[in-house]
Amino acid sequence: MRPMLATKGVHVPSGDEWSHEVKWDGVRILADTADGRTRMWSRNENDVTVAWPELSDSPLGGRDLLVDGEVIALNARGLPDFRVLQDRMHNRNATTARRLSHEVPATFMVFDLLRLDGNDLTDQPLDRRRELLAGLDLADSTWQVPAAYDDGAMLFDATLQQGLEGIVSKRRSSRYTFGARSPHWLKFAHRHRLSYVVGGWRPQEGTTDRLAALLVGEPTPEGLLYRGRVGSGIGGKVGSMLGELLKPMERPDSPFADEVPRVDARGTHWVEPRIVVDVDTHGTGYDRLRQPSYQGVRHDLDAETLGANP
């Protein structure tokens, strides 16, 4: 069984027929407790129970239930961050999983109840399912029930300011259909345009001189800290223009004050950190850009100005 998915929305809906929730940046999980045992299933129907030892015992003991939710973990800035879970989500070794559960503790954000005490609830409206879920009293456990809100515009603005991923708006009358991408669930992810300093460029695969991606960083009191590789939005005339701009600035070593991951550093042409570019990115408050897209060179800014005005 696969979870029901949301459709990408255009405008946050308003009105009494809609409820709104935080969009969590984690791993989607269905947890099924039957015959006294809880099994956790990924979005692709893989049994991932072993990966989450601190979550795989239902707080309700052996009570029969099926829930939908998101496993999350916090990054160094206190924000839910999918990348923090990378080592955990693919692990299938019980010993390693127990160690990682202490190093990277996770929480299961349960936002839907699909079966309870043998009763299938998928044909019940969302409001009824949420009412029953709230009544389970999962507080003070590794399973938590996140709040739902009536004001979607308010939640959208609040999550934007807090650097969260976005929101999901759900029709209160919606039924749950496994595997469907429902028009009754709408997702709204935040994107931000920010400025970064270029510290290197990567050539196109199979070439040495055709620019395909930029390595960018953020000026800080500790120096230029690496924030990621930007390839989307660069191609054709844009790549040629950037190549002509950056090639005269090449240097033998990295200008970044921290270590650039080997996968990004391999084959990179380092440059003097002078050029500032705008990047459209998914979410803020992360150490690495998420789904970045190149937007253009900022001829009105230089690295020193950017560092003085974070």
Catalytic center residues: 23
What would the two tokens of residue 288 be?
């690495």
What would the two tokens of residue 119 be?
């009763």
Rounded to 5°, angle at Cα 134 from 131 and 136? 115
Q: Which phi and psi (to 5°) does residue 8 adopt?
A: -65, 125
DSSP letters, 165-195, are -EEEEEETT----TT-EEEEEEEEE-EEEEE
Residues 249-283 as b/e (b if ≥16 CB within 10 A, e otherwise) read beeeebbbeeebeeebbeebbbbebebbbebbbbb
Per DSSP, the three-state class of 308 is: helix
Give the CA distances from residue 195 to residues 13, 192, 262, 292, in Å, rounded to whole numbers and listed in that order. Answer: 31, 10, 24, 12
